[in-house]
Structure 1
Amino acid sequence: MKKITIIGLGWLGLPLAQKLQNEGWQVAGSKRTAGDLPVECYPLDLNHFAITPDIERILATDAMVITLPPSTTSEEGYFSGIQKLASFAMAKGLKHLIFISSTSVLPMSEGNFAEDTEVDPNSLLAKVENWLLSQKLDCDILRLAGLVGKQRHPVFYLAGKSNLKAPNQPVNLVHLEDCVFAISLLLAKPNGQRIFHLCAEQHPTRKAYYGEMAKRFGLADLQFSDENQLLVRVVKADKICRELGFIYRYPNPYDFKLDI
């Protein structure tokens, strides 16, 4: 039985842990404040980073997935914390690491952005990505688009607001279930250093999509500005399909479910 450690047993990490358990992995992980979870879990806070005996034990693992977003701590604390976690695990024999990044590292400008798009090397996530990819182990960087699922959807933050910008900009979103299945696939097929995007294949406009979602959920109407400029910013995320045979379960954002 292979061992895996998930750093960040939250919105994404916990359902991932449960899927991997069902697949036969020996799963343990961490959370800022460990609670009553169906997975072996210990507290770990990058703001007050320390290798406790429990953390030391679970870092002696075959594979590790880091799901912690940068918002969990300061930039310096985040970067150094990821370095310490990875370095300690590698010293203990870590063979495969998956880092959950974000498509926010891509330029905020018009264009179609694939994995070979040049990003700002000075951005925090790019620095973390580059450092991890320079290490001597199988390492996958998985950049996720806007996240939806398990009672999480951007429309809940937009409903009732007025003068919303970029009505004609395409949405770039991905469902939780696709994230979990993609990580499981990467774990089954390690192969050097790789970067993959994950984003639903279809990209309706913000005005059309969020307007429809507000109606479906019985939320207040969204009021967009009369801005006519079309900013076509599309995240291309079919590399994982071509190279690893991944199939999106939710290629159309209109089909996203929130109870998964």
Structure 2
Amino acid sequence: MQNENRSLSIVGCGWFGLPLAKEMLAGGWEVKGSTTSEAKLEQLYAMGIKPYLAQFPSKDDIGTELFDSAFLLINLPPGRRNPDVADTYPEAISQVVQTATRLGRTRKIVFVSSTSVYGHHHDLDYIDEATELMPETNAGKALWQAEQVVARCGIPAIILRFGGLAGRAGIREIFLPEKAAWTMDIKRSIFCTSTMP
């Protein structure tokens, strides 16, 4: 019988969620994952991921089976070109979190955010968790609101603010998800809890 603590639901099996899923599967974890593309369902299934077609926010009942795991990774991009992102993105994250909370199975949430929540601190040599949040873009503001939704949901949560995802042209540069420190950060966050009694 598989250890029920070694189960992970990934909302957003994209450029980061998919490599993480592969890592966790290799470690013997049960992984569920969502995608917005019907064409990708077969790919996820072939990898050993239990696939779900889901779009957030959704007007339909999304059910709870996707969220029936001990750990939940939320890796949904806000969509920088979406003019309504400040409204739709926090709503999407709220729907995900509320569903997980209602089911009551999730022990920890890991939410992938971005350093865009800090804005441009030109007067600082570096930023850390104590740096004032001053998001300037609509996507940055939406992420900041979503972070608050996750932080207040009542489930222990870790918020990871990724940086350097794209170059000036908006294209990801020199990034190998399978070997990224970000993957290790999330794995450590999950493993340290899964080994607790």
TM-score grouping bracket, smaller chain normalisation: 0.7 to 0.9
Please give the alpha-carbon distance, in whole angstroms, between the structure 2 residues aligned to 1:7 and 1:126: 18
Please give the alpha-carbon distance, in whole angstroms, between the structure 2 residues aligned to 1:130 and 1:174: 28
Please give the alpha-carbon distance, in whole angstroms, between the structure 1 residues aligned to 2:119 and 2:62: 39
TM-score, normalised on structure 2?
A: 0.76
Matched position secondary structure for 1:101: strand
Kindly indicate whether the alpha-carbon contact (under 8 Å) linking 1:99 and 1:141 is maintained by their aligned counterparts in 2. yes
Kindly indicate whether the alpha-carbon contact (under 8 Å) linking 1:31 and 1:42 is maintained by their aligned counterparts in 2. yes
Change beyond 3 A, Cα 1:106–1:118: same
Structure 1 gap ranges (5+)? 148-152, 160-172, 192-260
Q: Name 1:32's counterpart in structure 2.
A: 36
Please give the alpha-carbon distance, in whole angstroms, between the structure 1 residues aligned to 2:128 and 2:62: 39
Kindly indicate whether the alpha-carbon contact (under 8 Å) linking 1:7 and 1:31 is maintained by their aligned counterparts in 2. yes
**Identity within the alignment, %:** 24
Counterpart of 2:99 in structure 1: which amino acid?
A: F
When the two chains are superposed, the root-mean-square deviation of aligned CA atoms in Å is 2.7
Aligned length: 171
Of the three residues 163, 186, 190, the one matched with 1:183 is: 186
Q: Please identify which structure carries the higher helix content.
A: 2
Of the three residues 131, 154, 169, the one matched with 2:167 is: 154
- Summarize deviations over 1:116-154 as a string: whole Å, max 9, x none: 11103892211111221122221000000112xxxxx63
TM-score, normalised on structure 1?
A: 0.59
Kindly indicate whether the alpha-carbon contact (under 8 Å) linking 1:99 and 1:140 is maintained by their aligned counterparts in 2. yes
Kindly indicate whether the alpha-carbon contact (under 8 Å) linking 2:101 and 2:153 is maintained by their aligned counterparts in 1. no
Of the three residues 131, 140, 158, the one matched with 2:158 is: 140
- Summarize deviations over 1:186-220 as a string: whole Å, max 9, x none: 111249xxxxxxxxxxxxxxxxxxxxxxxxxxxxx
Please give the alpha-carbon distance, in whole angstroms, between the structure 1 residues aligned to 2:144 and 2:86: 12
Please give the alpha-carbon distance, in whole angstroms, between the structure 1 residues aligned to 2:183 and 2:170: 26
Of the three residues 33, 55, 59, the one matched with 1:45 is: 55
- 1:2-81 alignment to 2 at 5 Å? 2-34=6-38, 35=40, 36-37=42-43, 38=47, 39-46=49-56, 48-53=58-63, 56-71=64-79, 74-81=85-92
Change beyond 3 A, Cα 1:19–1:138: same
Counterpart of 1:50 in structure 2: which amino acid?
A: D
Change beyond 3 A, Cα 1:137–1:24: same
* Structure possessing the higher radius of gyration over alpha carbons: 1
Q: Name 1:115's counterpart in structure 2.
A: 129
Change beyond 3 A, Cα 1:32–1:68: same
Structure 2 gap ranges (5+)? none
Please give the alpha-carbon distance, in whole angstroms, between the structure 2 residues aligned to 1:135 and 1:189: 21
Kindly indicate whether the alpha-carbon contact (under 8 Å) linking 2:112 and 2:160 is maintained by their aligned counterparts in 1. yes
Correspondence 1:106 to 2:106: no
Matched position secondary structure for 2:143: helix
Kindly indicate whether the alpha-carbon contact (under 8 Å) linking 1:49 and 1:81 is maintained by their aligned counterparts in 2. no
